[in-house]
Chains A and B, each alone.
Chain A
Amino acid sequence: MESVFLQAGDWAFIASNGSYLLVGTIVTVLLTVTSLGLGFLAGFPAGAIEVYGSGRLEDIVSTVGVVLRGTPIVVLIFLFHFGLPIPDLGDIQWLDIQLSTFVAATLALGLRSAAYQGQVFRGAIQSIDDGQMEAARSVGMTKLQAIRRVVFPQALRRSVPGFQNEFTIVLKDTSVAFAIGLAELLTRAENLYLQPGRGTAAMEVIITISAIYFVLTFTTNRSLDRLEDVYATPGGNE
């Protein structure tokens, strides 16, 4: 019997659908960028509030964080997609996606990422020696000035390795948008081998998108390594 795996014809089939997978890759990258952006915009203040906040606000932020971190990402994405009254925002034709589906995926991935990025940042703030704050206050800076000009710049630098993890996790988890039919890389991959008579190409397609995911995570991590080097404080931290 002839092997059904890794046939030359299947590779040719993938090559002829290169641009189809490229569009899926673009959706994956876009979803990663919007989700990480939302995650940073919400996670940065959340981490700061967990350190410096008090009372109700801090309670709310930390509770929301616990809930988001404690819920499976597929469940979150269903919750936001089917549970939120997101209006029909139309389609993005060339990417073949519904904007409202993309928004639901961004909210699920972004807010969950915020819950983790918040923890990264909280830990980084708490790792800054109390003496830094005291020194800033002792020249007459307000607490806010001290946080903004002394604590945050150092905490952000220390957050880079944690953010690096987050980048990788969010990029890979964009594939769960498959569950709500967003035409990202995994969805488009499946569309290819589900075509009549193309079932034999399933393994080749999966191997191809695995390679694409790997290249994306690898290059992103290398870029962040460089960023860390560029912004590192000469001589290291105290």
Chain B
Amino acid sequence: MSLLRVENVDKSYGDEEVLHDVSFEMDRQDVEVIVGPSGSGKSTMLRCVNRLTEIDDGAIYLDDEEIHSIDENDLRRRVGMVFQDFNLFAHRTARGNVTLGLTEVLGLSKEEAQAKADDYLGRVGLAEQADSYPAELSGGQKQRVGIARALAMDPELILFDEPTSALDPELIGEVLEVMRDLAEGGMTMLCVTHEMGFARSAASTLTFLDEGRIVERGPPEQLFDTPEHDRTRQFLGELTDLH
């Protein structure tokens, strides 16, 4: 049984069709990577899964339950999200960023939440920075706090929305390393990224999205080495050359 099933999803902003008849499934522990040119609807697809954006048509199932029949706050607790711009709570320390959801949403005591936060910050290599505020952290450190914040909620699935796109090149590695560790640890991940190295080595399935449609989907080596569509070859070829 699949953990996430997206069926015939359509989404438009006004007259602009952003997603057209998108369908795919993910099992537990899958690492699905979506690639595609900017404006192809990748981020919108992610945001539809935790209902930051609402779909126009189609259906999305989490663990066989249609997401609109789940309480939206409950859905978001079960589906974590990591943002391109980090979106760390600017007035709270790294630890405070992780504890807020734990105390407010999961109802943990302050002590329990702090212990759990420190544990997760340790896992992303930020035990030393627990008391630092976002403005005192590097981009890579911020994004690792963002990952710890999502992880600490014990989600069934984490959405990564271009988690390295706002980072200086030398800081991308530390974030990808954390993501690789997560993937190897069995976390189910749906990632939008331009990191072709990560897509090739960590993805269980790679999806190429263009103009709101899935052009091609399969094991990464298939899309990279023997793509069925010229458009896929062209896009992946360009990006791989670039990186």
Segment at the B interface, from A52-60, A84-92, A228-236:
A228-236
Interface residues of B in 109-134 (CB under 8 A from A): 132-134
Interface residues of A in 199-238 (CB under 8 A from B): 233-238
- Does A132 reach chain B (CB closer than 8 Å)? yes
Instruction: Tell me the B residues contacting A by CB distance below 8 Å.
Output: 50, 52, 73-77, 80-81, 83, 85, 87-91, 100-101, 104-105, 132-136, 149-150, 153
Closest Cβ of chain B: how far from A108's Cβ, in Å? 35
Contacts of B74 in A (CB 8 A): 140
Given A138-B76, A238-B134, answer yes or no on A149-B87 (Cβ-Cβ < 8 Å).
no
A139 in contact with B76 (CB, 8 Å): yes
Given A140-B101, A149-B100, A149-B104, answer yes or no on A238-B76 (Cβ-Cβ < 8 Å).
no
Closest Cβ of chain B: how far from A35's Cβ, in Å? 29
B101 in contact with A237 (CB, 8 Å): no
Contacts of B75 in A (CB 8 A): 140
Contacts A/B (CB < 8 Å), 30 sampled: A129-B87, A131-B83, A132-B90, A135-B81, A135-B83, A135-B87, A135-B89, A135-B149, A136-B89, A137-B73, A138-B50, A138-B52, A139-B76, A139-B77, A139-B105, A139-B150, A140-B105, A141-B73, A141-B101, A141-B104, A141-B105, A145-B104, A145-B105, A150-B100, A154-B90, A233-B135, A234-B132, A234-B133, A234-B135, A236-B135
Contacts of B91 in A (CB 8 A): 150, 153-154, 157, 233
Interface residues of A in 11-57 (CB under 8 A from B): none
A134-176 interface bits toward B, Cβ cutoff 8 Å, 1 = contact, 0 = none: 1111111110010001100110010000000000000000000
Given A132-B90, A234-B135, A238-B134, answer yes or no on A139-B83 (Cβ-Cβ < 8 Å).
no
B88 in contact with A238 (CB, 8 Å): yes
A139 in contact with B80 (CB, 8 Å): yes
**What is the chain B residue whose CB lies nearest that of A146?**
B104
Closest Cβ of chain A: how far from B138's Cβ, in Å? 12
In the bound assembly, the distance between CA atoms of A235 and B132 in angstroms comes to: 9
Interface size for A (C-beta < 8 A) is: 24
Contacts of B153 in A (CB 8 A): 139-140
B87 in contact with A139 (CB, 8 Å): no
Contacts of A140 in B (CB 8 A): 73-77, 101, 105, 153
Contacts of A149 in B (CB 8 A): 100, 104
B136 in contact with A135 (CB, 8 Å): no
Contacts of A139 in B (CB 8 A): 76-77, 80, 100-101, 105, 149-150, 153
6 additional contacts, CB 8 Å, given A137-B76, A138-B50? Answer: A134-B87, A136-B89, A136-B100, A138-B83, A139-B150, A233-B90
In the bound assembly, the distance between CA atoms of A233 and B76 in angstroms comes to: 28
Contacts of A150 in B (CB 8 A): 89, 91, 100
In the bound assembly, the distance between CA atoms of A154 and B41 in angstroms comes to: 32
In the bound assembly, the distance between CA atoms of A236 and B132 in angstroms comes to: 12
Contacts of B88 in A (CB 8 A): 135, 238
Contacts of A154 in B (CB 8 A): 90-91
Closest Cβ of chain B: how far from A238's Cβ, in Å? 5
A52-76 interface bits toward B, Cβ cutoff 8 Å, 1 = contact, 0 = none: 0000000000000000000000000
In the bound assembly, the distance between CA atoms of A84 and B104 in angstroms comes to: 45
Q: Which residue among B75, B88, B104 has the maximum number of chain A CB atoms within 10 Å of its CB? A: B104
**What is the chain B residue whose CB lies nearest that of A138?**
B81
Of the candidates B76, B80, B85, B150, the one whose C-beta lies within 8 Å of that of A131 is: B85
Closest Cβ of chain B: how far from A130's Cβ, in Å? 9
Contacts of B105 in A (CB 8 A): 139-141, 145
Closest Cβ of chain A: how far from B98's Cβ, in Å? 9
Contacts of B87 in A (CB 8 A): 129, 131-132, 134-135
Closest Cβ of chain A: how far from B92's Cβ, in Å? 8
Closest Cβ of chain B: how far from A190's Cβ, in Å? 48
Contacts of A153 in B (CB 8 A): 91
**What is the chain B residue whose CB lies nearest that of A139?**
B101
In the bound assembly, the distance between CA atoms of A135 and B88 in angstroms comes to: 7
B135 in contact with A235 (CB, 8 Å): yes
Contacts of A129 in B (CB 8 A): 87
**What is the chain A residue whose CB lies nearest that of B159?**
A138
In the bound assembly, the distance between CA atoms of A139 and B73 in angstroms comes to: 8
B83 in contact with A134 (CB, 8 Å): yes
Contacts of B89 in A (CB 8 A): 132, 135-136, 150
